[in-house]
Amino acid sequence: MRVLQIVPRLPPPEEGVGSYALCLEQALAVHGISTHFLTPEEGGLARRMEEAEADAVLLHYANYGYQRRGCPFWLPGALRRSRARRRVTVFHEVYATGPPWRSSFWTQPFQRRIAAAVARTSDALITSLDLYVRRIGPAASPEKTWVTPVFSTVGEPREVPPLSSRARRMVIFGGRGARGRAYGEMRRDLADACRALAVEEIVDVGPPLEQPVESVDGVPVRQRDILPAAEVGALLCDSLAGFVAYPELFLPKSTIFAAYCAHGVLPVQAWRRRSPAGGAAPVWSGGDPQEAASAALAWYGGHSLERQVERFRELLAA
């Protein structure tokens, strides 16, 4: 079976959607499914989508990756005209929101219609949040929509050491935005967590920040830049905790959070406002660290890549 994966871009540099697609390619290959990638970077993406020979198309929908204002009007038609027998779409995003002085306020109606058209053209939909199902609307019917948290894009270790054997280290991993928030508006939360967990060092993994951070409340920060997935995984397996500055309700779509959970790291989350209803993903709230880390690992085990790939295979081959 041959699958055509459409993705905004592939690493390098490292980024969530492209890394997700590459991990999925490797997992599908174990089941005898080959993947060919198409990205907008080469130009003529609509034409190449329509002409490519494949049994199934797997579209990774992140609208700003296909058009600068997040309005790829051509995409539903190109997907419909593809030669593939099956069309499956992973909605990593649906549409953006914002105040009237932001362009997203004015483009949102168009983004909504394009997302709904892509959903109607698809035989199956995959997304990480119930919120996205509601945003897509009636086109995301229950019989063709699968909601599941994302998997780790830096591996899934077979054995996870207990926290007691790990360095008293806090990892801050990901893109500039999430890491910048950790050292900026969420800095007090980060400092409080380091103090409560007796953290001795913070290791920063990702592209260089505009303003490098040397320490947080006396805890030194060691910069590691972008690392290969295997090195990130090894670092996580020897670290006590991982910090993520991200809304609690959106954690199921965070590959950073997934990586922490998959490696048995204590996940520490902070945001401007805590959701009164809580979130679906387990985070540390000040109790026993090992109990919280084990709960996060067990939660992740229910939707690991190893488990998800079988469902992807079924949807692509149906």
Q: From the first residue on, what is the mean pLDDT of each consecutive set of 10 residues in the chain (318 residues)?
A: 96 87 97 96 92 96 96 97 97 93 92 98 97 96 97 96 98 94 97 98 95 96 94 98 95 96 97 71 93 98 96 95
Please calculate the CA angle 255-258-263 and round it to the nearest 5 degrees. 130
pLDDT for 288 equals 96
With contact defined as beta carbons under 8 Å apart, do 243 and 270 qualify? yes
With contact defined as beta carbons under 8 Å apart, do 249 and 243 qualify? no
pLDDT for 272 equals 85
pLDDT for 241 equals 98
pLDDT for 278 equals 61
Write out the H or E segment, with its range, that includes residue 179: helix 176-183
Task: Enter the pTM of the model.
Answer: 0.94
What ranges in 203-286 are assigned the alpha helix state H?
229-237, 255-262
pLDDT for 295 equals 97
CA distances 187 to 49, 102, 194, 255, Å, are 45, 27, 11, 21
